[in-house]
Amino acid sequence: MKISIFGLGYVGCVTAACLAHDGHTVLGVDVNPLKVDLVGSGRSPLVEPGLEDMMKASVASGNLKATLDSHAAIQESDVSLICVGTPSHENGNLELSYVKNVCSEIGKALTEKEDYHVVVIRSTVLPGTVEECLIPILEQESGLKAGVDFGVCMNPEFLRESTAIADYFNPSFIVIGQIDERSGAMVHELYKTLEAPSFRTPIRTAEMIKYSCNAFHALKITFANEIGNLCKAHGIDGQDVMHIFGHDQQLNISTTYLKPGYAFGGSCLPKDVRALVYRAKERDVESSLLRSILSSNQNQIDLGIKMVERTKRKKVGILGLSFKPSTDDLRESPAIELVETLVGKGYQVQIFDENVQLSRLIGANKSFIEKELPHIASLMSDSLEELVAEAEVVVITHGSKTFKEVPNMMTAGQTLIDLVGIAKNKKDMQGQYEGICW
């Protein structure tokens, strides 16, 4: 395939060299004559292991060239990858002038392009940027319609400096945010030699995946550092702790718990985070990340309450009282605070949880519910069907299998608030639907 790459910085050079290595015809474009001269002669403008050798071989084979002429690059290619920088302003917002300028240049060149050309944003931009900012520039400058006359995709990169070539050829996944199937198919063709799962998504999803990955990487480093600092305050080797921590790939290093939804609760997580933060304070160890966990969790509880309040309806059925399905443990369950708050505000609340039988509660579990909801017995319902039929608003708080049929019980005048995602793919359900993170 014939490819033009706009921006011969880190991402652009690595992408250009790897695509050329795979046999594509690549034309690098930049406004800096020095970068163009270097790439055109097979030299790398930056230090990256293996990059210059790959560029030299690709230039020698004729697969890699460079130019200052953006108009000619569009005419000579099928796909254009935008790889220019998007640095930060002081307030944290992105500087988009470079990517806007490139889109303007590409848009002008598209006016003379007869074949279907796909513009691929590889630069890192916030969700909504491509659709709300960049596509309008392309359409205005070209007089054409995106998704009809030309294609647009968002194709984030996941290259780490010093290991970029290995990262390119051994990706964890390939993400292609597409405006239409035709555009996505052309971009998918670029990576047909790579063995990795490929995800074709809406453009905004692809934009967000890049930020989710980088934020999580930053989160992991900060978490490890805070644990390490607390370890040192106790005479413990923090690297030993995290080395063992990483061997749990069932819970610690896995997709477990990485599913957006309602808040956490139970007898362990809130208590242990609270204790760890208290100990850090005792030892004068700064732990801003650990301290933020419980307040962020509280925000999610508050969000669930606000979702109910926004319905402007008073008869509420709560499905799920324990902190997770298949248990009757009510300790620090976020559903308890949801119920407590709604009752306090005058809502008519009924609760169904097939695993919670008040007569069987004992010990700390019984003491907790008696303290938090002393009139709990009057709120419990024995029938899921009756609760749903009588409620104006139904709230699902955890993922019990029993609740999967609830969307089919709803009528047009009811609202379902889904805090776990049980009903988000139910296309034919009656009534209003709102998910907490989707």
HSE value, Cβ hemisphere, 13 Å, CA-based, for 357: 5
Look up residue 182 and give its two tokens. Answer: 């035709």
Check 18, 133, 231, 268 and give the catalytic one. Answer: 268
Q: How far is CA 269 from CA 36, 272, 274, in A?
A: 55, 5, 8
Neighbouring C-alpha atoms within 13 Å toward the C-beta of 413: 6
Burial 371-409 (b: 16+ CB within 10 A, else e): ebbeebeebbbeebeebbeebbbbbbbbbbeebeebbeb
Distance CA 196, CA 188 (A): 11
What SS3 class is residue 335?
Answer: helix
Ramachandran area for residue 103 (φ above 0: left; ψ -120 to 50: alpha; else beta): alpha
The whole-angstrom separation of Cα 26 and Cα 64 is 5
CA-nearest of 203, 194, 204 to 174 is 194
Measured distance CA(270)–CA(293) in Å, rounded: 9
Q: State the Cα–Cα distance between residues 172 and 195, nearest whole angstrom.
A: 9
Active site residue 18: no
**CA-CA distance, 159 to 18, in Å (whole number)?**
12
Checking DSSP bridges between strand 151-154 and strand 174-178, what pairing results, if any?
A: antiparallel
What tokens does 374 get? Answer: 């002393």
The two structure tokens encoding residue 280:
């850090």
- Residues designated catalytic: 268
